[in-house]
Homo-oligomer: A and B are copies of this chain.
Amino acid sequence: MAPKQVNIAVIGTGGVGSCFLSQLAWLSKNLHSHSLNLCYIAMIDKALYHPDYAAIDIDTASPTLEAKGTSPPAIPTIVDYLAAAPHKVILVDNTSANSLAEAYPTFLRRGITIITPNKKAFSGSYELWQDIFNSAVTGGSFVYHESSVGAGMPIISTLHDLIQTGDVITRIEGVFSGTMSYLFNKFAPTSGSGGNWSDIVKEAKALGFTEPDPRDDLNGLDVARKLTILGRLAGLPIESPTSFPVESLIPEGLNGLSNGDEFLHSLSDYDNMMEEKRSAAEKAGKVVRFVGSMDMVSKEAKVGLEWFDPTHPIATLKGSDNIISFYTKRYGALPLTVRGAGAGGPVTAMGVTGDLLKIMKALCMALLYRWLLQSNITK
């Protein structure tokens, strides 16, 4: 069987994007039935592509882009270019850009399949969510976003499988933020105190475990976005990630400060407040954690501090691990739980590459099933 070609366009060459390109190079050498043709690559201020869709060498794509890239075309031009390609095109969006996310419906309507770890599109307005999935149906294209929650861990695919085999989700609960996980695993270990809250936040920032301004983690919005995605997949028409209660850990007095350094400088004034929260849980024989939960029966979502028994899987979490539990009718009292790293370039890229593999496998199956297609499709 001669190799079949699939075109691939990659936008974003940062932390996730560069890991994805390494994995793509590996995959490309290890795929048997298809060849992947990198026809477009772009970073924030440069793009590289050829009018005839000629292959860009994957191994050297990043340095070539740096050296020879030109100013990126406007999104409608990219859509036209990709939609006119002689083979099916997959767009991999490894950015966290809102502008690109908002254009997904346009790509999808033109038959371009999208794979992305970018949460923005799926946790924006519910109108955009509906537009994305309706556009995929119209365009005969697909949307894969495993890495938008829990990076490479099987979260989205597991939720899909539960629902599509007819199980009933009753509750989703978890620690969705690596930063929050690290902070509380340190600050409130299963016995005793881990030190001052502000010191632990500073340490996390020094280790690169927080956003440049730690308030972007502490406001709870990242957790709310992930919960919004899972809730919508489970069938709730959640209007936005701010349409349900989200507890912010930014003290009110520090909201207005102009940057993260000023914030960190003043955070120690609130150490007593956080210590009270920790010790109140301890006095009750519990530990405090920052979790997101969605009750599918009462249709209520919330994000914030909650107490857990010290032997609860959420309490015994380590490092910056995520943990996500699905309570369902079939699984009963004890949930189906997935735990592990939920951030970082290699594992986030793995979710993207895994999505690509699913498409390639389906194409491989399509080739093997061609007698079925030949006998049925043209009817």
Contacts and interface: CB of A to CB of B under 8 A. Distances in A.
Interface of A: 2, 4-5, 23, 26-27, 30, 87-88, 140-142, 152-154, 157-158, 161-162, 164-167, 190, 311, 313, 316, 318-319, 321, 330-341, 346-347, 350, 353-354, 357, 359, 361-363, 365-370, 372-373, 375-377, 379
Given A157-B154, A165-B23, A340-B334, A369 B365 contact: no
Contacts of A5: 376
25 contacts: A4-B376, A5-B376, A23-B166, A27-B165, A140-B369, A141-B368, A153-B336, A154-B161, A154-B338, A157-B157, A161-B357, A164-B354, A313-B339, A318-B334, A330-B350, A331-B347, A336-B338, A336-B339, A336-B341, A337-B338, A337-B339, A337-B340, A363-B369, A366-B369, A370-B373
A369 B87 CA distance: 10
B337 A319 contact: no
A88 B368 CA distance: 11
Given A164-B357, A165-B353, A311-B190, A372 B365 contact: no
B340 A319 contact: no
A154 B369 CA distance: 26
A363 B367 CA distance: 10
A190 B313 CA distance: 13
A348 B363 CA distance: 28
Most buried by B among A2, A30, A316: A316
Most buried by B among A165, A334, A350: A165
A190 B334 CA distance: 18
A178 to B, nearest CB: 11
A180 to B, nearest CB: 16
- Report, nearest first, the 5 A-B pairs whose CB atoms are least far apart: A366-B366, A336-B340, A362-B362, A26-B166, A165-B353
Contacts of A316: 311, 313, 316
A363 B357 contact: no
A371 B294 CA distance: 41
Contacts of A167: 350
B154 A158 contact: yes
A164 B165 CA distance: 25
A379 B3 CA distance: 10
Nearest to A5: B376
Contact of A350 (B27, B30, B162, B338): B162
Given A164-B357, A165-B357, A335 B330 contact: no
B339 A321 contact: no
A333 B320 CA distance: 11
Contacts of A372: 4, 87-88, 363, 366
Given A340-B337, A366-B362, A377-B370, A165 B354 contact: yes
Most buried by B among A23, A162, A354: A354
